[in-house]
Amino acid sequence: MAEAALRGLGSRRRSRRLFAAGMILVGGLGLVAAAAPWLTSYDPDAIVVAHYAGPLPPGGAHPLGTDTLGRDVWARLAYGARTSLFVGGLAMALSLGIGVTVGLVGGYFGGAVDTALMWLVDLVLTMPTLLLLIVLAAVLPPSLLTIPLVIGVVGWTTFARTVRGEVLSLRERDYLLAARALGASHGRIMLRHLLPGVLPGVVVLAALGMSGAIGIDAGLSYLGLGVPLPTPSWGRMVSEVQTYFAVAPWLVVLPGVAVSLAVIGFNLVGYGLIDLLGERRG
CA 173 to chain centre: 32
Closest CB to another protein among residues 141, 183 = 141
Check residue 66 and give left, alpha or beta (phi > 0: left; psi -120 to 50: alpha): beta
Helix (H, G, I), strand (E, B) or coil at 217: helix
CB of 192 to another protein, least distance (A): 20
Query: With contact defined as beta carbons under 8 Å apart, do 273 and 26 qualify?
Result: no
Residue type present at position 7: R
**Using CB under 8 A, which of the segments 79-87, 92-100, 179-187, 249-257 binds another protein?**
249-257
Is residue 14 at the binding interface for another protein, with CB under 8 A as the rule?
A: yes
Angle, CA 108 vertex, CA 104 and CA 129 arms, to 5° = 40
Nearer to another protein by Cβ, of 183 and 217: the residue is 217
Window 119-148: residues binding another protein (CB under 8 A): 119, 122-123, 125-132, 134-135, 137-139, 141-142
As to burial, measured by CB atoms within 10 angstroms (0-12 exposed, 13-18 middle, 19+ buried), residue 126 is exposed
Residues 181-220 that bind another protein (CB under 8 A): 200-201, 204, 208, 211-212, 214-215, 218-219
Using CB under 8 A, count the residues that bind another protein. Answer: 103
Task: Identify whether the C-beta of residue 160 lies closer than 8 Å to the C-beta of residue 103.
Answer: yes
Minimal distance, residue 129 CB to another protein, in Å = 7
**Between residue 17 and residue 46, which ones bind another protein under the rule CB under 8 A?**
18, 28, 45-46
Minimum CB distance to another protein, residue 249 (Å):
5
CB 91 within 8 A of CB 267: no
The reply on whether position 114 binds another protein by CB under 8 A is yes
Judged by CB under 8 A, the residue of 95, 166, 176, 194 near another protein is: 166
Q: Which stretch binds another protein (CB under 8 A): 91-99, 108-116, 144-152, 176-184?
A: 108-116
Number of H helices, E strands in the chain: 12, 0
Residue 187 CB, shortest distance to another protein, in Å, is 21
Residue 69 engages another protein in binding (rule: CB under 8 A): yes
Residue whose C-alpha is closest to residue 73's, from 31, 54, 37, 45: 45
Contacts of 120 (CB under 8 A, 6+ apart): 102
Per the CB < 8 A criterion, the answer to whether 271 and 23 are in contact is no
What is the smallest separation between the CB atom of 90 and another protein, expressed in angstroms? 18
**Minimum distance from residue 181 beta carbon to another protein (Å):** 19
Asked whether position 239 contacts another protein by CB under 8 A, the answer is: yes
